Chains A and B, each alone.
Chain A
């Protein structure tokens, strides 16, 4: 009994530390990959091959001036990065890294993900509003409007997966993909999900929250020291979450021959992450009206069509 509880606690702590470690090193990976894409080296001075760079960044951020803007709503100003950080990291509670390596397996995991991740909008809105700066406020509106616009196609694309799996538990969904990955049965759904999720995480070509030539740095303009660091960590944790979700929903999760489950899972996650970096290095930013029109006038009807066709096919073949 006691051993059991200690084992569970250890598992939770290990999963949390691994997530935080990966998030820290994703910042380095992205910077080095981007460097190579742009024919330069990227950060390679701190430690062998730049391996200690994230730690150096963290320590530097901790000792930076901890500023609060004049006339800022200081309570919400501090609360906003915490909300962003917590909302993303709580989602990892239901991600199954392997058949046994997960914090909890809820039967309503997909709803849980939707509920928790929707809280992320508050971090953006409150952060921008409390900064008492017009660039921050404008950036917050734009980012929030973008996030909620792309949440609908994303959720509809997921519904296609739910029709196939017949369950909302992520462990069940991965187990259902033992034979065939859902990317084969839901190619359109995968594309919609991938596009919508990169808009949700505010990646280029959708990085409107910090289009630096218009909005300085969007809602993060007035943030400094580790409060900025929290937004930064939340952003990368969100990208990791997106990679994990794509792996779980479309790429068969931990399923794969020969190699252990965890290796397969993280290989797929990093492949998806590399794809995100590749896209960032390749595409320019869209225009804001194009971005909104793309979600409402193209992705949303397409997602509905995809959902209905999959439902008809599933019922017809059943």
Chain B
């Protein structure tokens, strides 16, 4: 019973994700595109939930739905690219999309190949069935993965500085 329910939820989420992902690239209106991306993010949170990782699912929603996509929506509404004709040239965007998607396919394919061939990877997956509480996650994060945690703050620092520099007026704007 449990397994069948999970299967059904998995397929619903999967179909939703793919449909919405197609919507992201196919939508002619930028707002529709962002809202499709929102559905993709929510479905991804659903996947995490299904895998028994509610904490990751909530992080996904807090950061992507609550912050990153709000930023996207803000920018699109601010610039109003559909009305002001402010969009990247078609040729350039096709090229960039091509490079990114080929790169992602290679990376994901490599991970698939690794997990399918290497038995120790499969053992890792089997042995790490998550039954941990949020306390355990916190303890592991702040002891074993300490360096990554501190590096995150550096990354955020760079992001903040970059964002502020981008909005600075250049000499041409002033004159």
Contacts and interface: CB of A to CB of B under 8 A. Distances in A.
Contacts of A168: 134
A118 B62 CA distance: 7
A232 interface: no
B74 interface: yes
Interface string A76-107: 10000000000000000000000000000011
A118 B45 CA distance: 15
Interface residues of A, number: 22
Interface in A144-187: 144, 148, 168
A112 interface: yes
B58 A125 contact: no
B66 A115 contact: yes
A119 B42 CA distance: 11
B54 A108 contact: yes
Contacts of B61: 115-116, 118
A129 B77 contact: yes
A122 interface: yes
B101 interface: no
A120 to B, nearest CB: 10
A10 B17 CA distance: 34
5 contacts: A107-B134, A111-B55, A121-B66, A125-B77, A168-B134
Interface in B29-75: 31, 35, 38, 54-55, 58-59, 61-62, 65-67, 70, 73-74
Contacts of B134: 107-108, 168
A170 B170 CA distance: 50
Contacts, number: 53
**7 pairs of A and B residues whose beta carbons are closest in the complex:** A118-B66, A115-B61, A111-B58, A115-B62, A115-B58, A114-B62, A121-B70
A306 interface: no
Contacts of A122: 38, 70, 73
Nearest to B71: A148
Contact of A111 (B59, B65, B74): B59
B117 interface: no
Contacts of A148: 67, 70
A125 B62 contact: no
A115 B58 CA distance: 6
Given A108-B54, A111-B55, A111-B58, A119 B66 contact: yes
A129 B72 CA distance: 14
B62 A111 contact: yes
A131 interface: no
B66 A114 contact: yes
A270 interface: no
A137 B66 contact: no
B133 interface: yes
A141 interface: yes
Interface of A: 73, 76, 106-108, 111-112, 114-116, 118-119, 121-122, 125, 129, 137, 140-141, 144, 148, 168
Contacts of A137: 77
A240 B121 CA distance: 49
Contact of B31 (A76, A121, A140): A76
Given A115-B58, A125-B74, 10 more contacts: A108-B134, A112-B58, A114-B66, A115-B61, A116-B61, A118-B62, A121-B70, A129-B31, A141-B74, A141-B77
A119 B65 contact: yes
B65 A118 contact: yes
B73 A125 contact: yes
A116 B56 CA distance: 14
A113 B51 CA distance: 21
Contact of A108 (B55, B65, B66, B77): B55
Taking each of A73, A114, A118, A148, which has the highest tally of chain B beta carbons within 10 Å of its own beta carbon? A118
Nearest to B45: A115
A125 B66 contact: no
A141 B73 CA distance: 10
Interface string B66-96: 1100100110011000000000000000000
A125 B59 contact: no
B27 to A, nearest CB: 12
Contacts of B74: 125, 141, 144
Taking each of A73, A115, A125, which has the highest tally of chain B beta carbons within 10 Å of its own beta carbon? A115
A116 B31 CA distance: 21
B70 A144 contact: yes
B136 to A, nearest CB: 11
Contacts of B55: 108, 111
Contacts of A116: 61
